[in-house]
Amino acid sequence: MVPVNRKKTILEVVQRILLLLSLLFFFPPSVSASYLTAKGSNLYNDKGEVVRLTGVNWFGFETTNMFPHGLWARDYHGILNQIAQMGFNCIRIPYSNDMLRDDATPGEPNFFGEDPFFPRDKTQFNVELTGCTPLQMLDEIIRYAGVLGLTVVLDNHSREHDGYMNELVWYTDKTSEQQWIDDWVMLAQRYKNNPTVIGFDLENEPHGKTTSGGATWGTGNIATDWNTAAQKCGNAILAVNPDVLIIIEGVEQYGSTMYWWGSNMRGVKKQPIVLSHPEKLVYSPHEYGPEVHQQPWFFESGFPDNMTKIWDDAFGFIVKENIAPILIGEFGISNMDSYEGKAGIWFEKFIEYMKTIGCSWTFWALNPNSGDTGGLLDNDWTSTVDWKVDHVNPLCAPLINEPIAVKKPFRSSNESSHYIRIHGKIVSVDSRHTSNGSLSLIDMRGRTVRRTTGTLLSLEGIVPGVYSVQYLPADHGSTVIRITIN
């Protein structure tokens, strides 16, 4: 028999090994990554460089499905690869408190179609997520996002699944304020020392009229003052995870002034949020056009020139007065021609405004099944809505974290060419075919992302994803193969 103290020693060793493996699983130590800090209206990485979060919302965890939508048509590797390839550096992932429970059961997706961004047999789609709880699914999606160098903002979208339309404030009869804080502290501990998880958006769109029990700011009513609750929760998070950004939205009504849900930040002027680590504070309004709601300012005679002052008054002053950084957590559009073109006019005007103030943002949404706005992906969950991508892509900032994956391209099984060879990160052309010609790397949208004259093409620095390599010699027809860069 092994003595009791010996058993304890063995158990401690095993526990330490498991802890080390879990840390390596979430974040290998050789990777260059950075937490972010705020100074004035800018975010900085650990090198002191100004950075911006520029990303997209991928929703579903907060719904009855309790997993990100689209996994019935795609593999999560492929969706994340495509997000990175479109040029984003961040994903805002909405979730509900319901999905955090041990007995939470995700729906069972029915798989169809193909995933060109992560070719694998359809029967293997999302196999890594099989049998997982929703929270374990989130773990794995965060892990692979980190592999690609993407960052993640977790957005507490509702307490109950699909409850965001009915919940005015941050607690319900089922989920108390203390439970809401405890859930955030649990997530803060779970993702501590994981720079992929860059920020926590504490509550999605506190709203409602102050006369009917809606969220308030600075009134002294602890039952409805969102700023007081946000400050309390943010400090509880920072007590266990002092690295993560605390992202705080506004309310709908401040004084007599109404604005979008969660986007009225006027209270910041008199009652700013005070955190134990003030360098971790980010404010986050949302902004939409007339497709979401026909606000009166869209129909004023001065539209769209009236919008700059409206935005400045609601939230832009936070940046312009160098108070703190802002992250536009949601903005989106379905059709540029909606409301006699007012939707498109608003959209382009707001993009120009974001350029002017230099803020971070996450577009709503990746999902095509967003009822108000549609998505960056079309209804097949693979094709992109190019005009949307073309509008937001110029606003994208570089990756904040370095991709973890070693890029190992491989030729697809249907390759017919014997001219093109893959050697590590180099594409080369067989020496028997070295007449004047060119090699091009083409992404899934048909854009040439790299081209060289000659017989060698470097893949250094290419975003992971699926590409075509085209060799176009002078003396015969072109040859094309498809490769995947992981």
Active site residues: 205, 330
CA distance 485 to 469: 12
Ordered alpha helix ranges (H), 104-244: 134-147, 177-190, 226-240
Backbone angles phi and psi of 108, in degrees to 5: -105, 105
CA distance 25 to 47: 25
3-state secondary structure of 288: coil
Token pair for residue 320? 């312009």
Cβ neighbours for 356, distance < 8 A, ≥ 6 positions apart: none
Cβ neighbours for 319, distance < 8 A, ≥ 6 positions apart: 41, 325, 326, 357, 358, 359
CA distance 393 to 416: 34
Residue 311 C-alpha from the chain's centroid: 23
Ordered alpha helix ranges (H), 241-322: 307-311, 317-320
Half-sphere exposure of 430 (CA within 13 A, CB side): 7
Q: What's the first-to-final CA gap in the chain, in angstroms?
A: 49
CA distances from 7 to 11, 13, 17, 112 (A): 6, 10, 15, 50
Question: What's the burial of 107, exposed, middle or buried (CB within 10 Å: 0-12/13-18/19+)?
Answer: middle
CA distance 233 to 184: 8
CA distances from 107 to 64, 114, 393, 403 (A): 7, 20, 33, 31
Half-sphere exposure of 432 (CA within 13 A, CB side): 4
Locate tokens 């700059």: which residue? 308
Q: Do 473 and 436 contact (CB within 8 A), yes or no? A: yes
CA distance 261 to 169: 11
